[in-house]
Amino acid sequence: MIFFSGLITAFVFYSRIYQPNVVMEYEKEVFVYIPTDATFEVVQQILIASGVVQNTSSFRWVAEQKNYIHRIKSGRFLLENGMNNNELVNLLRSGRQTPVDVVFNNVRTKEQLAGKVAAQLELDSLELLYAMIDTAFTNPLGLDANTVSSLFIPNTYEFYWDVSVADFLARMTAEHHYFWTERRKKKAQKLNLTPEEITTLASIVEKETLKKDEQPKVAGLYLNRLKRGIKLESDPTVIFAIGDFTIKRVLNKDLKIDSPYNTYKHKGLPPGPISIPSIQVIDAVLNHEKHNYIFMCAKDDFSGYHNFAKTYAGHLNNARKYRKALNQRGIKR
């Protein structure tokens, strides 16, 4: 009897430690997210909520034996089907996270950027936003609250889920320096523009046309205007100044808005980017098409392309066609 009793006890201990406790019926993979400063009770609730950990009491017993309850580490952890408690505790205790592919593109404002990033990581969007515009961060980089958007290069970046705001910004700064190679810097210098100004111009080009094959031509047009001291007169800058990105038709009254971003009132580039432009558009500016166009107007076929003109008379003709097409479609705003 003592022998059998010992066998039973041994089996119970073995089962607690080595029997599969992570069971997935339909899921291919399940991630659990352990917040910073989480208690063991919080970890248990997260595992219960995952729906794949079968026995949390046996998990707790193994966690106590391995002192995990006092060694909680935050992060994003990938659970595998068939994991036993020993493997599960070892994973969580080791802090061996699965990184997150952080993606941000089609972002107009700093607020949108902070929100997109925070939706993919643990960090708080407001904390990130305030850190981005803090002079302690911007001043050493030669940036300010208007130009800081130029620091961020849209791409896919691998981060640990619990990365701090400071470490996130440090990585973005490093990626910015990596992107702005000597070759790109020299191209910007030939245009008498800084990388931040190139990014600002690229943001305008991107909002003027989504047609990749047309972007170098649009970039060339705005560079022509800058060189000649002609106001850029870009509708997207006016829309940015208004702050209503649903606007499809800029009206004459909009052109009078008092804002440094209104390029119908102020010469040169606006104070900063009106969006966070893609790498492709930045390169389209650096490798712009050389021509003599200084006017552009959307085509009346609504193809997304533009008619270009070298003279004001030619531009007025193009503009009349487009206004007529807008009126026919009932687009008032």
Amino acid at position 85, single letter: N
207, 308: one domain: yes
Residue-wise pLDDT tens digits, 179-188? 999 999 999 9
195, 290: one domain: yes
Q: Is residue 269 situated within a structural domain?
A: yes
Among 94, 127, 157, residue at a domain's last position: 94
User: Cβ–Cβ contacts within 10 Å for residue 207, how many?
Assistant: 21
Residue-wise pLDDT tens digits, 192-203? 999 999 999 999
Please report the pLDDT score of residue 1 as a whole number: 54
Taking the C-alpha atoms of residue 229 and residue 223, their distance in angstroms, rounded to an integer, is 10
Among 127, 149, 179, residue at a domain's last position: 179
Q: Is residue 106 situated within a structural domain?
A: yes
Please report the pLDDT score of residue 81 as a whole number: 93
User: Cβ–Cβ contacts within 10 Å for residue 265, how many?
Assistant: 17
Closest CA to 293 of 228, 204, 209: 228
DSSP 8-class letter at 26: S
Q: Is residue 199 situated within a structural domain?
A: yes
- Token digits for 11? 């089996």
123, 75: one domain: no
187, 175: one domain: no
Q: Is residue 117 situated within a structural domain?
A: yes
Q: List the alpha helices (DSSP H) in 122-251.
A: 125-133, 135-138, 165-179, 182-190, 195-208, 215-228, 235-242
212, 314: one domain: yes
88, 46: one domain: yes
CATH of the domain at 73: 3.30.1490.480
For residue 249, report the phi and psi dihedrals to the nearest 5 degrees.
Answer: -135, 115
Which of 6-10, 251-255, 259-263, 273-277 is least confident? 6-10
Closest CA to 187 of 223, 212, 143, 232: 223
Q: Is residue 280 situated within a structural domain?
A: yes
Structural domain harbouring 137? 100-179
What's the distance, CA 292 to chain centroid? 35
Nearby residues of 12 by Cβ (< 8 Å), 6 or more positions away? none
Residue-wise pLDDT tens digits, 72-92? 999 999 999 999 999 999 999
**Confidence tier at 18 by pLDDT (50, 70, 90):** low
User: Cβ–Cβ contacts within 10 Å for residue 252, how many?
Assistant: 7
Q: Identify the H or E element spanning 16.
A: helix 2-18
Please report the pLDDT score of residue 325 as a whole number: 84
46, 139: one domain: no
Number of domains in the chain: 3
Q: Is residue 66 situated within a structural domain?
A: yes
For residue 162, report the phi and psi dihedrals to the nearest 5 degrees.
Answer: -95, 25
82, 135: one domain: no
Among 147, 179, 211, residue at a domain's last position: 179
* 277 pLDDT higher than 80: yes
- Token digits for 279? 């790498």
Taking the C-alpha atoms of residue 105 and residue 110, their distance in angstroms, rounded to an integer, is 12
- Using CB atoms within 10 A of its CB, is residue 242 exposed (0-12), middle (13-18) or buried (19+)? middle
240, 271: one domain: yes
167, 140: one domain: yes
67, 166: one domain: no
% of residues, the chain, pLDDT over 90: 79
204, 163: one domain: no
For the whole model, what pTM was predicted? 0.90
Taking the C-alpha atoms of residue 319 and residue 297, their distance in angstroms, rounded to an integer, is 6
Largest CA distance in the chain: 106
Taking the C-alpha atoms of residue 309 and residue 141, their distance in angstroms, rounded to an integer, is 39
* 4 pLDDT higher than 60: no
Closest CA to 242 of 262, 223, 228: 262
